[in-house]
Chain A
Amino acid sequence: MDGAMILEWVIKSIFLILVMTGGFAYVTLYERKVLARIQVRIGPNRAGPFGVLQPVADGIKLIFKEELVPAKADKLIFTLAPVLTVIPALIITAVVPWGTEVTLFGRTIKLYLADINIAVLYLMAVTSISIYGIALAGWSSNNKYATLGGLRATAQMISYELALGFAMIVPVMMAGSMSLVDIVESQKPVWFVFVQPLAFLIYFIAALAEINRSPFDMPEAEQELTAGYHTEYSGMKFALFFMAEYIKMIAISMIGSSLFLGGYRGPFVDQLPALGPLYLFIKVAIVLFVIIWIRATLPRIRYDRLMQFGWKVLFPLALLNVFVTGVVLILVGG
């Protein structure tokens, strides 16, 4: 590993972080626009043409807002919690490939940050860490709504993590590798979503619950918990929670695309590898649209039903799916 290699990777890391933060800014606008269109409104259209400067305006506003810390809060953890929520959301994207490799300035550059051989396990581990930020945020606020929101979020996320884990085993079994690059490459003949529609559905539902998106947004149910675990947060710290939520949305869309929807693969991608990121972008945009569409359509489900659905429906179904996949792979593969 020479100096130029390290420089290349530092540039790639910074680029990926900038893409994710920029992506976050524009996913908020995307969501507001799509929601507005579904509700027969126009949505933000004042800041710049079609409201494209709206995220910039929001960001500047949030930087200049006063940050309140409740008098009895645990100050250190209160400040640390948003940081702890953002970092896992960002580093989960490190193992997702955007393409194979391209030649730029006479150098062959791989279009992924790291191709580690246990990428799927890494995803599981990092998702588990992201629970800490939310639980600590709720607890350290010394606010009853926040504490309840944090507890609910923790219980919900660990319950759906099981189904998520089982759904992610299936592509690993089909590809025979945990590296996301290998998984994407093994979808060359057919995308896994066509072979394993149930696994994709389980992945999608569990991932929605994992990032606390509606209809599973019980931790931040406005009508009963004000804003859940970030009730006491304001200014930039609130923005960091917001950022973590949207970056997680992008991340689960990227991971879902890579595991089931063929990732960067598409027509002519073997001849022209630069098309890879474009295909991934299109797939992520479609998955994000479905997530926003679900938010606009479905009401929130009750908490006891949510937990029962996770444990009694989704989890046994995911287990059964692994079982059936195993048997079918033996019968087909010999």
Chain B
Amino acid sequence: MLNDWSYVAIFTVISMFLPAAAIAIASFLAPKKPNPIKNSIYECGVETVGATWVQFKVQYYIYTLVFLLFDVEIIFLYPWAVAYNQLPLFAVVEVIIFILILLGGLLYAWRKGALEWV
């Protein structure tokens, strides 16, 4: 089983060469004639106003928080799913209670309006 991970490692290292080679070859072959107009920010011909890196909508952050909660839940469910056929009924009921608690969390976020895009 450790061997299989080393194959994944070999594959990852080899697959890094592909984008690196593509960028390297293109940087040799592509013309380079920059000028201030070309290097300005593209905004459909209109000059850009103000800075880009400003504060953005907080909604994105709230979604990320809710996501984090349920992503961890999924990771907990995977070992349970693998061993499902050998598990006693007790473990199954336990996981169902676990899911119900998290479902309560989802309902709370839902009622609080965290899932509304405003």
A residues bordering B, Cβ < 8 Å?
A: 1, 6, 9-10, 13-14, 16-17, 21, 62-72, 79, 82-83, 86-87, 90-91, 94-95, 113-118, 120-122, 124, 139, 141-145, 147, 151, 154-155, 158-159, 161-162, 165-166, 169, 172-173, 176-178, 226, 231-232, 235-237, 239-240, 303-304, 307-308, 311-312, 315-316, 319, 322-323, 326, 329-330, 333
Contacts and interface: CB of A to CB of B under 8 A. Distances in A.
B96 A326 contact: yes
A121 B48 CA distance: 43
A-B complex: 8 closest residue pairs judged by Cβ atoms: A236-B26, A304-B117, A165-B74, A90-B15, A114-B4, A83-B19, A71-B39, A114-B7
B41 A232 contact: yes
A212 B3 CA distance: 34
A151 B42 contact: no
9 contacts: A63-B26, A71-B40, A87-B16, A114-B4, A162-B71, A169-B74, A169-B81, A232-B42, A237-B23
A13 B84 contact: no
Interface residues of B, number: 69
Contacts of B112: none
Given A68-B34, A72-B41, A143-B43, A116 B4 contact: yes
B60 interface: yes
A113 B6 CA distance: 10
A70 B8 contact: no
A6 to B, nearest CB: 7
A176 B84 CA distance: 7
B47 to A, nearest CB: 12
B64 A158 contact: yes
Nearest to B17: A17
Contact of A63 (B25, B40, B75, B116): B25
